[in-house]
Amino acid sequence: MNSNKTALILTSTIDPKGIKFLERTNIQNRYDDYKKAFIFWINNKLINNIIFIENSGYDLTFFKKKALESKKNIEVITCKINNDFDRSYGKGYGEYLSLKKIFETSKIAENNDYFIKVTGRHIIKNFNQIYKDIFQDDNEIYLNLKNNLKLADSTIFGGSKLFFTKYLIHETSKTNDSKNIFFEHGTASAALKAITNGLQFSQIKVYADIEGYIGTN
């Protein structure tokens, strides 16, 4: 693993447009969440490559301006892929579509080998400790499996490009919140299949100290 070939993925949906099973739906509140977190991440000294994707087509002038002001390698991707699918699939399906979009179009994704995915509205106050733990373990999958290996915490996790492209995107494509098939189920399934095929796994030892709001309650 090479820290210089590592990218942070920040996923965002500013205007959820009636997504089911979502409680934090006020657009201004969500916009403010993302702005605050984005400033935190671009100021982190350990991260040099950042992919920020917003999937509802919201105006990203603020984020683009901050990216240009930064000396870091930052992509701000705007798209509307969250607007057209059945709302009952839930926010996790939009998350899957965002990751799929990133690995189809992002130059940063193309040029890096390892990725740390974080919910874009959240600040991880002890991120530096987690980051160091990732590189000490030299793993291909770094996440928190729980509920008897049936779920994975999706707030923050890491993995190689192979894990994201061959396993994670495929398994999370099955997300359907109305059928209780959550993004977290797909993430856990992806990890287990990858481990079976020989990818090196590390259970998160440093639990995230999160500043922010959960979207679902």
Confidence label for 108 from pLDDT (cuts 50, 70 and 90): very high
pTM for the complete prediction? 0.95
Radius of gyration (C-alpha) of the chain in whole angstroms: 16
Provide the pLDDT for residue 158. 96
Q: How far apart are CA 48 and CA 50, in angstroms?
A: 7
Tell me the pairing of strands 156-160 and 141-143.
antiparallel
DSSP letter for 24, please: -
Confidence label for 1 from pLDDT (cuts 50, 70 and 90): low
Closest CA to 111 of 3, 6, 200: 6
Mean pLDDT of the chain: 93
DSSP letter for 176, please: B
pLDDT in tens, 132-161: 999 888 899 999 999 999 999 999 999 999
E strands, 79-132, in order: 114-119, 123-124
